[in-house]
Amino acid sequence: MSTVGWVYRSAGQRLADDVREMLREQRDYRELLYQMTRRDLMLRYKQTVMGFGWAIFMPLVNTVVFSIIFTRVAPLDVGMPYPLFAFCGLLTWNFSASAFRFAMISLTTNTSLVTKVYFPREIFPLSAVLVALVDFAVGSLAVIALMVYYRVTPTWTLVALPVILLVHVMFTASLCLLLAMANLFYRDVKYIFEVLVTVWMFATAVLYPVASLSNRFGLLLQLNPMTPIIEGYRSVLMRGSLPDPLSFGVAATMSVVLLVTCWVVFHRAEFQFAENV
């Protein structure tokens, strides 16, 4: 065997060993992940009047504001009632943005656990994803209510919804792992993040359809993985069609590769976390 072939084989074997170890640790520490998620949920909504109602209230307020703008001030044709279009996009975006925001500080706000007790540290950012996923599930009730109000009936394409959700969760989890690790080593990441996430939202088809843009800008939006994910939700829920196979296929492939890459990098770096807290 050539030297290059041996190197590639060794790297592949090490990657496979890392993946097996990560999966085994998540299985062994699944109860801890559950308890962390439960704790974070209780802390987030402790002593709040509305509780889980905030998961619906915030995207609903933004939907009202943007609905006034894009139906009264600058009318925009989206092929469906605009409030339903906007709320679906905002709810989907808020799931990822909320998970990013809490995962980013998950290691730096749990310094005593990071430095003193051994367990897979990816539990912290993954817990942030699960908490955001609970909010997403609660907010989905408002989507159902809006669909009933506007008499939008789902079709057989609803069977593709779990696939879209899986891709969405994988993409979100991969960036949560990356952000948590980056913020631990470089504390100014949290300041840059707030600017980038705002720009990113407007560079995603959250409030307007891709078809409303020129070919050049529309193509750039399609390269953003969040755009085909959000459009995928709208397609299967409200348009009665499957997501675009090319753009969604690229987003799905990117999500899988990114999750494996970020998780392996996170796993290999976690022994340095205690020195940087």
DSSP conformation letters of 23-42: HHHHHHTHHHHHHHHHHHHH
Confidence of residue 7 (pLDDT cuts 50, 70, 90): very low
Determine, yes or no, domain membership for 34. yes
User: Residue 216 domain-assigned?
Assistant: yes
Note whether 122 and 28 are within 8 A (CB). Answer: no
**Mean of pLDDT values over 12-20:** 77
In a domain, 1, yes or no: no
The answer to the question of residue 117 being in a domain is: yes
* Residue 3: inside a domain: no
Q: What's the predicted TM-score (pTM) here?
A: 0.88
- Asked whether residue 2 is assigned to any structural domain, the reply reads no
Q: Is residue 9 part of a domain?
A: no
Q: Please report which confidence band the pLDDT of residue 6 belongs to, taking 50, 70 and 90 as the band edges.
A: very low
Give how many domains the chain has, as a whole number.
1
Lowest model confidence (mean pLDDT) among 4-18, 31-45, 83-97, 130-144: 4-18
Looking at the domain assignment, is residue 6 inside a domain?
no
Quick: pLDDT tens for 220-265: 677 789 999 999 999 999 999 999 899 899 999 999 999 999 999 8
Task: Give residue 170's domain range.
Answer: 15-276
